[in-house]
């Protein structure tokens, strides 16, 4: 509502324009630096350059350059004498001097392209470290805009860029961090019709998304196109990390790494999937997972992503690495699932995974996931993972609007016709206790939905005492019959299910007591009754 005010939209538009100009300015600075750098080299005669090379550069380093250059098929760079730009030696110096990276690793980073799907809590730190490390091209896919509630963990975005698309905002940040990279923004959600086309122009994919359907789609597309995949996820205090389809062999090749379907062949039931918005997330928890994704990506790229087949022929290359005093490339690691549980001891557990599953729907010889199936839409990922339709569990007579409920609290009760009194009814808030403690309506009683939903309904005939009725049920039974019970929650879904459960438990006294829910929950309360009620 507030955003539709003209002043708000002016602010939003100005912020957006400023950010765009900043990005443009950064780009111009980069172009200028590049041009100045080239002008400098043009002033030096080529003879003196090659003289320097012969006279001043040790033979083994020269050999290494030549080996690296010829390997990357970029002989034209030889004319510039140094394989990296001058500023790049400085910028990447701290990682360049590590044997795990070295010149060859840096050149591989520079010529590599990584697609980051999802620019949220995982994608932001992942993309930041990849851009910082000098990955040449980073693609960013996300259909969302920046919200204030993202900022505690989505470190590429900023307060000034709330309302801007996440991909635009991230591009501004990454350009400021490292203007040498190329950043491509895809400002819509990944879908089966777009996945193959987008993935095709990248060497490596990072799954930083937030839902099961995207995870299966991304994994399937990576298998079909032969791209390694670094997949991570996080919720509350826990995270998971896997390097999948690495090495990226064709479906049916048992030497290839397992895919997401090998590990999790069945999606979780849709109604059990919890988002960060509902379940919560600690910034550093998801941050750790995103940073680890960047680390795995760097390991894969510096090992030689462009030629995954060469990994098996390390021995052939060995003499060259020895003459250059360079460490032989690390062999690919066996597949593993890293579990992070921030409040556990130990916080990290690494699970050894199997190779590809012989009956995998995606990467085995019996694969049913094909390019045709993907592009034709016959693989319905949303259907596969299930849809949570809005809860419509109650009839009209079992529900009350927030406006009418407000009148019960402050005016005339539309149901009983009596004047409002604080003790005229019972209000049950079924949000979890921690949310209830954040903010609640005066006089409401907290019975968390998790407690309500796990309460068993006993068969008639068993007396409550015999089976040990839960305390909250006993307490509610004791409330006077004439007082209606209103149930409220955050959004108006759990409240309906709770009312259903209470009726099953006989808390409506066989219909003599009105038990119903407040439609739309506390969100509706804030939207239509009390704008001061906190939004979280």
Partner 1 sequence: MTNPKSPAGQFTLLYFAAASSFTKRTSENFSAPVRAADLFQLLEGKYPGMGDKVLSSCAVTVNLEYIDLDGDDAADGDLMIKAGDEVAIIPPVSSG
Which residues does the annotation place in the binding site? 121, 142, 149-153, 166, 210-211, 259, 262, 360, 363
Instruction: In whole angstroms, give the CA distance from residue 499 to residue 485.
Output: 9
The C-alpha angle 534, 393, 402, rounded to 5 degrees, equals 35
Residue 289 lies near partner 1 (rule: CB under 8 A): yes
Residue 404 lies near partner 1 (rule: CB under 8 A): no
Residue whose structure tokens are 């789609």: 217
Binding test (CB under 8 A) with partner 1, winner from 83, 121, 181, 521: 121
- Closer to partner 1 by CB, 320 or 357: give it: 357
Query: Could you tell me the CA-to-CA distances from 187 to 117, 151, 190, 461 in Å, in that order?
Result: 11, 19, 9, 60
Residue 72 has which token pair? 């990357």
Instruction: In whole angstroms, give the CA distance from residue 32 to residue 159.
Output: 30
- Closer to partner 1 by CB, 163 or 212: give it: 212
Q: Tell me if 512 sits within 8 A of 481, measured CB to CB.
A: yes
Size of interface with partner 1, in residues (CB under 8 A) = 51
Catalytic residue among 124, 208, 276, 385: 276
- Closer to partner 1 by CB, 265 or 331: give it: 265
3-state secondary structure of 232: strand
Residue 526 has which token pair? 């804030």
Q: Tell me if 119 sits within 8 A of 146, measured CB to CB.
A: no
Min dist CB 22 to partner 1, Å, is 28
Residue 457 lies near partner 1 (rule: CB under 8 A): no
Residue 210 lies near partner 1 (rule: CB under 8 A): yes
Binding test (CB under 8 A) with partner 1, winner from 223, 232, 452, 518: 232
Taking CB under 8 A as the binding criterion, the range among 20-28, 91-99, 266-274, 394-402 that sits at the site for partner 1 is 266-274
489 is catalytic: yes
3-state secondary structure of 408: helix
First to last CA, the chain: 16
Residue 189 lies near partner 1 (rule: CB under 8 A): no
Binding test (CB under 8 A) with partner 1, winner from 10, 66, 149, 343: 343
Binding residues for Zn(2+): 259, 262, 360, 363
Binding residues for ATP: 121, 142, 149-153, 166, 210-211
**In sequence order, which residues have a C-beta less than 8 Å from that of residue 285 and are 6 or more positions away?**
234, 236, 237, 238, 239, 340, 342
Residue 57 has which token pair? 């550069």
Residue 128 lies near partner 1 (rule: CB under 8 A): no
Residue 339 lies near partner 1 (rule: CB under 8 A): yes
208 is catalytic: no
**In sequence order, which residues have a C-beta less than 8 Å from that of residue 315 and are 6 or more positions away?**
none
Just list the catalytic residues. 276, 489
| Residues making contact with partner 1 (CB under 8 A) | 118, 120-123, 208-212, 215, 232-236, 238-240, 263-269, 272-276, 279, 281, 286, 289, 337, 339, 341, 343-346, 349-354, 357, 359, 456
């Amino acid at each position: 509502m507030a955003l539709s005010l003209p002043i708000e939209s002016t602010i939003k538009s100005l912020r957006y324009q400023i950010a765009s100009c900043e990005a443009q300015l950064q780009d111009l600075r980069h172009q200028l630096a590049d041009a100045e750098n080239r002008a400098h080299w043009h002033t030096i005669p080529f003879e003196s350059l090659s003289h320097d090379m012969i006279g001043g550069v040790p033979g083994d380093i020269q050999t290494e350059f030549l080996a690296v250059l010829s390997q990357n098929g970029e002989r034209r760079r030889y004319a510039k004498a140094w394989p990296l730009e001058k500023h790049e030696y400085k910028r990447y110096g701290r990682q360049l001097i590590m044997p795990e990276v070295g010149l060859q690793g840096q050149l591989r980073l520079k010529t590599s392209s990584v697609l980051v799907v999802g620019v949220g809590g995982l994608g932001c730190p992942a993309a930041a470290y990849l851009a910082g490390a000098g990955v040449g091209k980073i693609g960013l896919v996300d259909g969302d805009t920046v919200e204030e509630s993202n900022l505690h963990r989505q470190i590429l975005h900023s307060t000034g860029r709330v309302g801007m698309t996440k991909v635009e905002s991230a591009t501004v940040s990454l350009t400021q961090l490292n203007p040498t990279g190329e950043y491509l923004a895809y400002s819509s959600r990944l879908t089966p019709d777009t996945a193959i086309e987008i993935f095709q122009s990248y060497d490596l994919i990072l799954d930083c998304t937030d839902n099961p359907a995207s995870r299966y789609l991304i994994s399937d597309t990576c298998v079909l196109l032969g791209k390694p995949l670094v997949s991570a996820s996080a919720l509350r205090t826990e995270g998971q990390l896997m390097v999948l389809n690495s090495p990226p062999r064709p479906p049916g090749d048992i030497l290839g790494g397992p895919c997401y379907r090998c590990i999790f062949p069945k999606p979780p039931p849709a109604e059990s999937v919890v988002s960060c918005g509902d379940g919560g997330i600690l910034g550093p928890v998801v941050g750790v997972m995103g940073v680890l994704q960047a680390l795995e990506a760097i390991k894969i790229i510096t090992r030689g992503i462009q030629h995954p087949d060469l990994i098996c022929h390390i021995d052939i290359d060995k003499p060259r690495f020895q003459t250059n005093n360079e460490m032989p490339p690390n062999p690919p690691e066996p597949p593993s699932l890293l579990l992070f549980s921030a409040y556990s001891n130990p916080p990290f557990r690494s699970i050894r995974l199997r190779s590809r599953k012989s009956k995998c729907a995606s990467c085995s010889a019996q694969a049913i996931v094909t390019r045709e199936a993907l592009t034709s839409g016959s693989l319905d990922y949303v259907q596969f993972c299930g849809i949570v339709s809005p809860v419509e569990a109650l009839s009209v007579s079992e529900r009350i609007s927030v406006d009418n409920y407000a009148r019960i609290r402050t005016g005339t009760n539309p149901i009983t016709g009596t004047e409002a009194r604080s003790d005229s009814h019972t209000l049950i808030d079924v949000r979890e206790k921690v949310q209830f403690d954040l903010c609640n309506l005066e006089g409401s009683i907290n019975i968390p939905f998790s407690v309500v939903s796990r309460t068993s309904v006993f068969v008639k005939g068993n007396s409550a005492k015999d089976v040990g009725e839960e305390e909250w049920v006993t307490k509610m039974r004791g409330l006077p019959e004439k007082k209606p019970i209103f149930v409220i929650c955050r959004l108006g879904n759990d409240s309906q299910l709770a009312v259903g459960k209470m009726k099953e438990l006989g808390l409506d006294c066989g219909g003599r007591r009105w038990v119903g829910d407040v439609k739309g929950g506390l969100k509706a309360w804030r939207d239509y009754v009390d704008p001061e009620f906190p939004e979280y």
